[in-house]
Amino acid sequence: MPRAGLSEDRVVEEATHLADEGGAVTLVEVARRLGVQVPSLYKHVDGADALQALVAARAKRELADTLARATVGKSGPSAVDALARAYRTWADEHPGSYASTLRAPSVDNAAEIAASDKAVGVLFDALAGFGLHGDDAIDATRYCRAVLHGFVALEAANGFGLPGVDRTFEKLITALQLTLTHWPSLTI
Amino acid sequence: MPRAGLSEDRVVEEATHLADEGGAVTLVEVARRLGVQVPSLYKHVDGADALQALVAARAKRELADTLARATVGKSGPSAVDALARAYRTWADEHPGSYASTLRAPSVDNAAEIAASDKAVGVLFDALAGFGLHGDDAIDATRYCRAVLHGFVALEAANGFGLPGVDRTFEKLITALQLTLTHWPSLTI
DNA sequence: GCCTTAAAGCTAATGGGGTTAGCCAAACTT
DNA sequence: AAGTTTGGCTAACCCCATTAGCTTTAAGGC
């Protein structure tokens, strides 16, 4: 029996592909794809839950990188536009990865938390061009995340029954830009 | 062996309670709580997946009713305020039910789709006070759903690392009211 | 180049959850 | 009271996750 040459990374990669193709991420299926028996996976990964967490951490890193690349050299409304489109596109193209990022990260998983922080950091930086500080910056960042995540999640769950979703997304970007521009005056 | 006096409704109710208490909704646990053996559940419910769908449909109906009650007699910004608070509160108090509503409804489940439509309808009606029509009304409704769902989902997943979430939510309401007020002019 | 050894694969066995088949008693119908 | 439908049950079978423990590979020290 020649070795399959696996590694934690290889296993996580295959699980990610499986998830993004819409399959259920089971150890049975991952093992089958890797040409290996199920218990062999335990040499690289600490069970099904741990594999899920690794997939999530990988997904968050990739999302953060994608957002960072999309917004490089941009700021203010133009950064928001680029970021929103990159976010939606990535989520659409990696539905399994995106879904994996929604689980609350386990407290003991430093890698996943770091990846989370990185993604939020990119968003936070992109909003710097609006001149927000302190609580305003935090609140605006959270608002952005909520809008983008909410839209993408509803789209993924087929929550928008009718056509015209692209049109709605264009409006969403404009609304978001406007909201951020006027954020400080929201204190009424 | 005296009968337990079950019914589809009773099973779904118990599954809902279980979900909202944070437990995993398994047939084993539902049966245990009802004082019955697992296969007996099949006399009332068509398997685990079907039970999930029924829980989701029930949740959507309840959410729709809650939103409707919260907004009765209100319109415009005041309706949005009431609706946003009711939405967040209900989701916080019924985390399992809320999570169940996120699965895409199966195409053949008329009850679940009807419940979805009802919830969206309440939101749609609440926005009538802003004088939106046609695509604008649809886009604004979707934007609202995205913001509210995104915020609640991130909050539930412990996605906001720092404190001050209540403050952020107040800002969110104000931002939403402002956005809806100026929606038609978003065409730039 | 051997010899040791850690790592990476394997088989076998256990346990939990879901599902089906088929039996039997309780309750309803007339 | 007899017949029928209904709601419970037991037994058996899947699928997936996990653990224990064995074997072989491949890498490193001498």
Q: Which residues of A touch B180 (CB under 8 A)?
A: none
Distance B22 CA to D7 C1' (A): 29
- B172 Cβ contact partners less than 8 Å away, ≥ 6 residues apart: A139, A142, A143, A146, B84, B147, B151
- Tell me whether residues A153 and B104 touch, CB distance under 8 A: no
Percent of all residues in chain B with a pLDDT value above 90, rounded to a whole number: 80
The residue whose two tokens read 């029930």 is: B58
Higher pLDDT, residue B51 or B4: B51
Q: Are B150 and A153 in contact (CB under 8 A)?
A: yes
What is the pLDDT, as a whole number, of residue B30? 98
The per-residue DSSP string of A73-131 comes to T--THHHHHHHHHHHHHHHHH-HHHHHHTTSPPPTT-HHHHHHHHHHHHHHHHHGGGGT
Distance CA B147, CA B29 (A): 34
State the nucleotide closest to A40 in CA–C1' terms.
Answer: C9
- Tell me whether residues A167 and B135 touch, CB distance under 8 A: yes
**Which has the minimum average pLDDT: A123-132, B13-22, B123-132, B153-162?**
B153-162
Distance of CA B71 to the CA centre of its chain: 16
Percent of all residues in chain A with a pLDDT value above 90, rounded to a whole number: 81
What is the pLDDT, as a whole number, of residue A187? 66
Mean pLDDT, residues A149-176: 93
Percent of all residues in chain A with a pLDDT value above 70, rounded to a whole number: 98
Confidence of residue A111 (pLDDT cuts 50, 70, 90): confident
What is the pLDDT, as a whole number, of residue B171? 97
Answer yes or no: is A43 CB < 7 A from strand C: yes
Q: Are A88 and A63 in contact (CB under 8 A)?
A: no
Confidence of residue B104 (pLDDT cuts 50, 70, 90): confident
The residue whose two tokens read 């009332």 is: B44
- Tell me whether residues B164 and A135 touch, CB distance under 8 A: yes
Please give the interface size between A and B, counted as residue pairs whose CB atoms are below 8 Å apart. Answer: 120
Higher pLDDT, residue B161 or B63: B63
B138 to chain A: closest CA residue: A168
A168 to chain B: closest CA residue: B139
- Tell me whether residues B171 and A104 touch, CB distance under 8 A: no
Distance CA A177, CA A144 (A): 10
Q: Are B89 and B69 in contact (CB under 8 A)?
A: no
What is the pLDDT, as a whole number, of residue A1? 62
